[in-house]
Amino acid sequence: MTNYDNIQYEVDGFVATIRIAREAALNAVDRKTLDELGWALREADGDARLRAVILTGAGDKAFIAGADISQMVELGPIEARDFAAAGRRVGDVIETMKKPVIAAVNGFALGGGTELALACDFIYASQKAKFGQPEVNLGVMPGFGGTQRLARRIGQARAMELILTGELIGADEALRIGLVNKVVPPDQLQAEAKKTAEKIAEKGPLAIASARRAVRQSAELSLAAGCDLEAELFALLFASDDQKEGMRAFLAKRPAKFEGR
Residues 6+ apart with CB under 8 A from 254: none
* Burial class for 219, CB neighbours closer than 10 Å (0-12, 13-18, 19+): exposed
Q: For residue 148, what are the CA distances in angstroms to 51, 153, 160?
A: 28, 9, 10
* SS3 letters across 216-227: HHHCCCCHHHHH
Catalytic-labelled residue, pool 36, 43, 95, 115: 115
Query: For this structure, is 115 an active site residue?
Result: yes
- Amino acid, single-letter form, for residue 13: G
* CA–CA separation, 104 and 182 (whole Å): 10
Query: For this structure, is 198 an active site residue?
Result: no
* CA–CA separation, 51 and 15 (whole Å): 6
**Phi and psi at residue 93, to the nearest 5°:** -60, -50
Catalytic-labelled residue, pool 95, 135, 192, 230: 135
Instruction: Compute and round to an integer the Cα radius of gyration of the chain.
Output: 19
Catalytic residue numbers read 115, 135
